[in-house]
């Protein structure tokens, strides 16, 4: 089945705006590379027009998204002002809807009444973990019950796409706890999830713990292995994973911003490459008599994933199975996760 086209997202950053306090991992100004000021009407209109000029015709849906803050933690006046700036774009069919991220404990009847008149189409909740101990150690200020209640209220509205964001590698987290978080998220039946590995960002409370030796971030290998498990678990339960890892930026590429942790601008690609490496190895191992020459066939969209970064997968398979020649071919009739070995 051909995957649905991803919506064209126009991002508007409101770093740390509406947040009641600073979570242990957070420094939104460093992550987004923008100041904490809420954008003016002129700035919002300029951003939307600029992005619309670059929209490809192949994208079927366009949404403006408020990122980086706690949207429903803003004052009612601020929420009205920001949403009002986008209504005309929806009415003129230049965009299809508005989306934002917010904390689970900001979803209540009063705030839902506040946004109900507006063309909000997607709401993402910063869940981070479904373990109260991890939430407490991460200074989140909300509990698992808040997430469960928030999702229930949103689902009763029957008008929103619901996304849940989780994090790996938080203080107090481990593989078992993280997988349990994923299973609890699956039970809530969101429309999609995002998965963010924890990074040690400069000037965050976590940076202080890291520098004192009280926090050990995940290694890249640990992170990729865990993300692979999570992705496959969500996929098995028909829940889309729309992002793994933070969006690449010049600020995140700066070692003075990310002090430690598993950051890579192509994190999702690394995870998919690991999935295809494992699938190819399994298929080759099942062959009764591996030859000196092996041909792997995948869908054209997955050629780079099968190769791996810098053709790392090819090298690994040759060494693992003592293959002298390994060829890659493509076949558009194959499924999105198929690997054929000849």
Question: CA-to-CA distance for 168 and 226, rounded, in angstroms?
Answer: 8
Over range 252-268, report the average pLDDT: 91
Q: With the C-alpha atoms ordered 24, 25, 28, 33, is the resulting torsion angle positive or negative?
A: positive
pLDDT digits (tens, 9 = 90+) for 77-122: 999 999 999 999 999 999 999 999 999 999 999 999 999 999 999 9
Which residues have CB under 8 Å from 24's CB, separation 6+?
A: 137, 138, 139, 170, 171, 204, 205, 206, 209
**DSSP string covering 228-260:** HHHHHHHHHTT-EEEEESPPP-TTTTSTTTEEE
- Per-residue pLDDT at 3: 43
What region does 317 belong to: left with phi over 0, alpha with psi -120 to 50, or beta?
A: alpha
- Per-residue pLDDT at 130: 98
Question: CA-to-CA distance for 140 and 161, rounded, in angstroms?
Answer: 24
Over range 182-207, report the average pLDDT: 96
Banded pLDDT at 291 (limits 50, 70, 90):
low
Banded pLDDT at 279 (limits 50, 70, 90):
very high
Is pLDDT larger for residue 17 or for residue 102?
A: 102
* CATH code for the domain defined by 8-265: 3.20.20.70
Is pLDDT larger for residue 29 or for residue 291?
A: 291
* Nearest CA among 144, 230, 226, 232 for reference residue 188: 144
pLDDT at 5 over 60: no
Cβ–Cβ < 8 Å for 199, 217: yes
CB count within 10 Å of CB 191 equals 14
Residue limits of CATH 3.20.20.70 in the chain? 8-265
Q: With the C-alpha atoms ordered 179, 185, 191, 197, is the resulting torsion angle positive or negative?
A: negative
- Per-residue pLDDT at 4: 47
For residue 302, give the DSSP letter: G
Cβ–Cβ < 8 Å for 64, 14: no
Cβ–Cβ < 8 Å for 138, 179: no
Is residue 328 helix, strand or coil?
strand
């Amino acid at each position: 089945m051909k995957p649905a086209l991803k919506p064209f997202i126009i991002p508007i950053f409101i770093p740390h705006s509406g947040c009641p306090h600073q979570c242990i991992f957070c420094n939104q100004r460093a992550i987004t590379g923008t100041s904490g000021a809420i954008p003016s009407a002129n700035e919002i209109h300029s951003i939307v027009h600029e992005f619309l000029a670059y929209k490809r015709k192949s994208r079927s849906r366009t949404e403006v998204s408020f990122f980086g803050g706690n949207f429903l933690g803003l004052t009612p006046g601020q929420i009205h002002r920001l949403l009002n700036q986008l209504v005309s774009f929806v009415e003129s069919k230049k965009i299809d809807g508005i989306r934002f991220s917010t904390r689970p404990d900001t979803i209540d009847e009063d705030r839902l009444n506040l946004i109900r008149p507006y063309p909000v189409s997607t709401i993402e909740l910063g869940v981070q973990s479904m373990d109260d101990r991890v939430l407490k150690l991460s200074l989140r200020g909300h509990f698992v019950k808040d997430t469960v209640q928030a999702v229930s209220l949103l689902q009763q509205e029957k008008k929103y796409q619901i996304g849940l964001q989780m994090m790996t590698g938080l203080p107090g987290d481990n593989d078992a706890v993280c997988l349990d978080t994923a299973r609890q998220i699956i039970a809530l039946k969101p429309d999609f999830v995002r998965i963010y590995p924890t990074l040690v960002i400069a000037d965050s409370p976590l940076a202080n713990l890291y520098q004192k030796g009280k926090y050990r971030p995940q290694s890249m290998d640990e992170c990729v292995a865990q993300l692979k498990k999570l992705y496959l678990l969500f996929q098995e339960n028909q829940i889309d994973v729309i992002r793994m890892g933070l969006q690449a930026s010049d600020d995140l590429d700066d070692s003075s911003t990310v002090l430690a942790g598993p950051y890579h601008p192509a994190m999702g690609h690394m995870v998919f490459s690991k999935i295809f490496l494992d699938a190819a190895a399994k298929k080759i191992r099942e062959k009764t008599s591996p030859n000196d020459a092996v041909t792997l066939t995948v869908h054209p969209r997955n050629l780079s994933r099968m190769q791996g970064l810098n053709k790392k997968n090819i090298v690994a398979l040759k060494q693992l199975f003592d293959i002298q020649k390994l060829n890659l071919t493509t076949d558009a009739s194959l499924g999105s996760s198929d690997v054929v070995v000849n």
